[in-house]
Structures are given as C-alpha cells and as structure tokens.
C-alpha cells in the first residue's frame, strides 16, 4: 500500500499534493483551535453501515458523516476486543504497554484497575491546551478510583464503568453468577451514582452529548467529547420505533441489531444538526469508529446460537479474532474546514493514530513520549502494523498479513498455526498463501517475533 494509493496518508495534512489527492484546503480554519468529537460504537461490524455497502442497514446520518469527509477502507482497531481498543484510542500506544490486553472485568465495589496514574491520555493532553473534556457512555478502562475518567483527563463523565449495562435498568449482570457482587447498578455522573431507569441508554447518551456541546458552544471554549455508545453490544434490545423501520420478515437477530444501530444513527444526526445550528460544524473534527468487529457470542443471540446479527462482510472472522472481520473497522473522519467531501482513504491506519493527529491539529508543541501511533502527516507508508490477543499475534506489511495461532472469534479453536493472507488478492482471507510464499512469511514471522519479545507473559 502507501503512495500508490489514490490518497496518501501524508495528504491528510493538507500539503500541496493534497488538492490532487482529494483532501483539500477548503479555506483556512479560524484562529480558534478545532473542537474534537470521537464517537465509538461497540461490536458494530463494517457490514453494518450503508456507506460501506450494507443495503439492509439504515444509517443515513453515518452516511452523511462519511459524505462530508473521509471514509477509511483499511482502518484497524488495535485489538479485537473493547478495553484494549479504547486504551489505544486514548493513549496513542499499544494497549499492552498499559497492562490492558483483554476486556476488563467488573465488580460491584468498583475496584477494577485499568489505566494507571500518570498515563498520558488524549483528554489530559487536550486539557493542557485549554480544552474542556467530557466522556459520555461506556468507559471500560477501570472502575478503581485512580482509573476512572475524572482521574484520566476528563473534566466531566456520564455513563458506566463496566463492559456493558442493561439499556433500561442500567445494571450490569453476569449470567453465570447471581451474587450481589455480580449484579449491580452502573450509571454515574462525575463519580456520583444516578438513576435514570427506564430511559433507553442510547437516547440518554445522545441527550448528554448534546447538552455538553450546548454548554461549550455558549462558553466559546474548545472541547473534546468522547461519545462511547454501548450499542450494539449485548443485551440486544431496542424500542419499537426503531424496530419498525425494518421489515418483520427480516432475520430476528439482524433486525434487532440494525434497530440498535438506528438509535445511535439518529443521535449522530441530532449532533450534526446541533453543530451546524451553533455555527461550529466546520471547525469541529468528528471521528467515528467501532471498537472491534461484530461478535459471534451466543449470549447475543435470542436462542443462544452463535450470533450472526452483526455483519463484518466481506471479511472473515469476528470479535476476538485477528482475521480481518475482528479488526478492520468502519471509520469516518469529518473536518469540513479542511477535509474535502466524499474522500475515500485507502491507506492503512490504526486507532492509536488518533491521539497524535488530534494533538497536532490542536497545536500541541510536543507529543507525549513513547507514542506508537503516528500523526497522518508523519506516518511512513512502509510502517508495519502489529496485533496480539490471547495467544494470537499478527503483523501486516503492505498487502501481506501473517497471523500466528489465529482464531475466528472469541472462544474458537486455533484455525491454523500460521496463516498468511494476501489482502490485495484475497481480502476475505479464504486462502492460506503460506505454501507458495514461504519467504515472505518467514520475513514477517521474524519481525513479528522480534516485536513480541516486548510483550509481558499472559
């Protein structure tokens, strides 16, 4: 990949070549620093958005977001599960550097450790530059006091600490355990427990996000909003008004999954409209991504079968695996003052690239040390990309991707000891190219093993 692509990663920073590439300087931004909004969904596959070709999905506002900026075709999460993905987003580093290599557990005493004191986070760095910072929705980076949002750079927090919560009662419960320790209410505002049942949480988070934008627009202070929806993660439930948008003849699991996404999409539309109403839409950067691919977990299925309500099509695999379906994400970036509409970026990127990119755009004079992510202007096209999860490791270099011990998804057996993919010729990874390309595989394996030497033992 790289400079032969229709749009290079360097073009994202508006060089003279950017005009020909498709990302253009559409007039200089105001002297004010841009606002930043990150919208994260949970277990949403790349085949769950209209702008990525899903004909059964109804996502007009995500499609609108794509049309007003850049849609990425080779954007990757740093992990196929939620907590490490979010860690990479907020730190610009591989999540294992922070000891977050799997999804974090939950308990009623809120003592789960995650991000540690002293972590250099995106909200913390932006706050140094005069930004007001807020998170709305799912945290899942630790419930212990030192790991909570207000200890990790956020000025405001509304949402839940654990990996998921019921959409109406806002309770977390572990199906295999029934003690009070594993069934508890989980909704908080700035460290204080609040009760809003039976408000549907997706709509509730949209309300809170809009209220924060209203306050900041009126205060004329730049802001960073991290809107982390719990949808469409288990438990699968949506109000009738969203279900009614899809035919009753549709597969039950798919219909519910898409209804939950429709609720998220409506909220994104409300946010886009509010930004325009306040006159700050052109100078507000919006980044959208799902944390990992759609899941195959049986708990998400109404009859306890392997779940197929979400779609990672045309890619193979699911959440928890290193095939493309688990890690290649829907990702959109809108910045009307600087990024041309209807841009399609075919270059490779990862979640951890967001922190250095946002800090550059905010005018930071220096970056936190030891970043693994690269701002778009400085990202080398020959960069190698690495993943690890629960004994699986992978490297991508150009069109080639080597996986050691890959699995299809959570709880699945190892597919093969070694799997070599040619993502240009076979993006769905139907074929193992190992036998006919052993030298390529060996070079990648040597690099992967060298990178893996830094990994702590599981």
Collapse the DSSP code of 261 into the 3-class scheme (helix H, G, I; strand E, B; otherwise coil) and give the result.
helix
Model confidence at 451: pLDDT above 50: yes
Judge if pTM exceeds 0.85. Answer: yes
Model confidence at 226: pLDDT above 80: yes
Q: Residue 291, preceding bond cis, omega within 30 degrees?
A: no
Percent over 90 (pLDDT), the chain = 86
As a whole number, mean pLDDT of residues 431-456 equals 96
The end-to-end CA distance of the chain, in Å, is: 33
Distance, CA of 199 to CA of 321 (rounded, Å): 34
Please, what is the average pLDDT of the chain?
Answer: 92
> pLDDT grade, residue 224 (50/70/90)?
very high
> pLDDT grade, residue 458 (50/70/90)?
confident
* CA distances to 56, 148, 173 from 189, in Å: 36, 12, 20
Distance, CA of 225 to CA of 210 (rounded, Å): 10
> pLDDT grade, residue 1 (50/70/90)?
very low
> pLDDT grade, residue 457 (50/70/90)?
confident
pLDDT for res 132: 98
* Helix (H) or strand (E) segment spanning residue 65: helix 60-67
Domain 9-380: give its CATH superfamily: Alkaline Phosphatase, subunit A (3.40.720.10)
Distance, CA of 401 to CA of 429 (rounded, Å): 10
Model confidence at 309: pLDDT above 70: yes
Candidates 398, 249, 250; CA nearest to 311 is: 250
Model confidence at 417: pLDDT above 90: yes
Model confidence at 28: pLDDT above 50: no
> pLDDT grade, residue 381 (50/70/90)?
low
Candidates 58, 7, 43; CA nearest to 347 is: 7
- CB 388 within 8 Å of CB 366: no
> pLDDT grade, residue 179 (50/70/90)?
low
As a whole number, mean pLDDT of residues 22-36 equals 60
Q: Which residue has the tokens 């508006």?
A: 14
Model confidence at 116: pLDDT above 60: yes
pLDDT for res 182: 80
Model confidence pLDDT, tens digit, residues 79-99: 999 999 999 999 999 999 999
Q: Which of 25-34, 105-114, 234-243, 340-349 has the lowest mean pLDDT?
A: 25-34
Positions annotated as catalytic residues are 82, 140
* Helix (H) or strand (E) segment spanning residue 88: helix 82-91
Model confidence at 21: pLDDT above 80: no
pLDDT for res 382: 78
Model confidence at 443: pLDDT above 60: yes
Domain ranges of the chain: 9-380, 386-452
Q: Which of 170-179, 212-221, 337-346 has the lowest mean pLDDT?
A: 170-179
- CB 259 within 8 Å of CB 245: yes
Fold observed for domain 386-452: Arylsulfatase, C-terminal domain (3.30.1120)
Query: How many CB atoms are located within 10 Å of the residue 320 CB?
Result: 25
Residues 6+ apart with CB under 8 A from 286: 37, 38, 39, 65, 69, 272, 332, 333, 334, 335
Model confidence pLDDT, tens digit, residues 254-307: 999 999 999 999 999 999 999 999 999 999 999 999 999 999 999 999 999 999
Percent over 70 (pLDDT), the chain = 91
pLDDT for res 180: 66
Q: Which residue has the tokens 């990663």?
A: 9
């Amino acid at each position: 990949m790289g400079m032969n692509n229709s749009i290079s990663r360097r073009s994202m920073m508006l060089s003279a070549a950017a005009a020909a590439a498709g990302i253009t300087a559409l007039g200089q931004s105001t002297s004010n620093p841009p606002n930043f909004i990150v919208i994260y969904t949970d277990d949403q596959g790349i085949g769950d958005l209209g702008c990525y070709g899903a004909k059964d999905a109804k996502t007009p506002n995500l499609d609108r977001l794509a049309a007003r900026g850049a849609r990425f075709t080779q954007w990757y999460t740093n992990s196929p599960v939620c907590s490490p993905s979010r860690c990479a987003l907020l730190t610009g580093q591989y999540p294992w550097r922070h000891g977050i290599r799997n999804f974090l557990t939950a308990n009623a005493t809120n003592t789960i450790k995650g991000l540690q004191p002293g972590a250099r986070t995106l909200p913390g760095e932006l706050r140094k530059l005069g930004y007001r910072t807020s998170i709305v929705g799912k945290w899942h980076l630790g419930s212990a006091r030192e790991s909570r949002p207000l200890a990790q750079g956020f000025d405001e927090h509304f949402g839940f600490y654990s990996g998921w919560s019921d959409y109406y009662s806002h309770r977390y419960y572990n199906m295999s355990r029934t003690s009070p320790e594993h069934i508890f209410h989980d909704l908080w505002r700035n460290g204080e427990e609040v009760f809003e049942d039976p408000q549907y949480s997706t709509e509730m988070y949209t309300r809170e996000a809009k209220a924060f934008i209203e306050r900041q627009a009126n205060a004329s202070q730049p802001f960073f909003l991290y809107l982390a929806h719990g949808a469409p993660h288990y438990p699968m439930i949506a109000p009738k008004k969203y279900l009614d948008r899809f035919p009753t003849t549709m597969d039950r699991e798919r219909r519910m999954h898409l209804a939950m996404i429709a609720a998220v999409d409506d909220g994104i539309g409300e946010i886009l409209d509010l930004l325009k109403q306040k006159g700050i839409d052109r100078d507000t950067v919006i980044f959208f991504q799902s944390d990992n691919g759609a899941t195959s977990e049986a708990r998400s299925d109404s009859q306890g079968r392997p779940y197929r309500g979400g779609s990672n099509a045309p890619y193979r695999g699911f959440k928890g695996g290193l095939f493309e379906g688990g890690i290649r994400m829907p990702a959109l970036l809108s910045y009307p003052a600087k990024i041309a509409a209807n841009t399609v970026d075919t270059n490779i990127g990862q979640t951890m690239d967001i922190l250095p990119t946002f800090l550059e755009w905010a005018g930071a004079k220096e970056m936190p040390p030891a970043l693994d992510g690269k701002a778009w202007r400085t990202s080398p096209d020959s960069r190698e990309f690495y993943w690890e999860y629960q004994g699986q490791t992978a490297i991508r270099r150009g069109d080639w991707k080597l996986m050691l011990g890959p699995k299809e998804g959570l709880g699945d057996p190892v597919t093969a000891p070694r799997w070599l993919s040619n993502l240009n010729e076979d993006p769905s990874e139907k074929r193992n190219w190992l036998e006919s390309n052993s030298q390529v595989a060996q070079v990648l394996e040597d690099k992967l093993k060298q990178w893996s030497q830094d990994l702590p033992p599981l």
